[in-house]
């Protein structure tokens, strides 16, 4: 399993489409832990581009603060799970909270 978290300045970027990078975590689903991570620099933002770009890199899940409804739909069409409403914080901490079922999410911070 691969989880991507949009990041800016080493923290979760609250606006998915405008992040500096995606921190990608390889996950051992049985052990529920991170086995490896890497950072990917996204192409320049264009509506609808990132769901295709990330799914082509084997991403199964995206954890974001906010994401537009169209991006959510495009991810789901590609079989990628989307979790929105994640708090700003360290991407590895957020993923570990998700894996242990302790990630507290709020509302989707994106309004488009």
How many of the other CB atoms lie within 10 Å of CB of 82?
18
Query: Token match 């957020």: residue?
Result: 94
User: Can you list the domains of the chain with their CATH numbers?
Assistant: 2-100 (3.30.420.130)
Four-point Cα dihedral 107, 94, 43, 19, nearest 10: 60
How many of the other CB atoms lie within 10 Å of CB of 55?
18
When pLDDT is cut at 50, 70 and 90, the band that residue 6 belongs to is very high
C-alpha to C-alpha distance for 49 and 6, rounded to whole angstroms: 14
pTM of the model: 0.94
Query: Token match 């959510």: residue?
Result: 72
When pLDDT is cut at 50, 70 and 90, the band that residue 111 belongs to is low
**Mean pLDDT score, 62-91:** 95
**Beta strand ranges found along 1-112 (DSSP E):** 2-8, 11-12, 21-28, 33-40, 61-63, 81-83
Please report, rounded to a whole number, the percentage of residues in the chain having pLDDT higher than 70: 96
pLDDT given for residue 53 in this prediction: 96
When pLDDT is cut at 50, 70 and 90, the band that residue 16 belongs to is confident
pLDDT tens figures, 33-70: 999 999 999 998 888 899 999 999 999 999 999 998 99
pLDDT given for residue 109 in this prediction: 67
């Amino acid at each position: 399993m691969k989880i991507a978290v949009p990041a800016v300045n080493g923290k979760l970027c609250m606006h998915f489409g405008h992040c500096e990078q995606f921190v990608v975590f390889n996950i051992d689903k049985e052990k529920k832990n991170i086995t490896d991570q890497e950072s990917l620099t996204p192409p320049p933002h264009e509506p609808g581009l990132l769901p295709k770009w990330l799914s082509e890199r084997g991403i199964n899940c995206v954890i974001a603060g906010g994401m537009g409804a169209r991006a959510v739909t495009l991810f789901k069409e590609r079989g990628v799970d989307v979790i929105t409403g994640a708090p700003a914080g360290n991407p590895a901490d957020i993923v570990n909270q998700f894996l242990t079922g302790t990630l507290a999410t709020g509302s989707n911070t994106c309004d488009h």
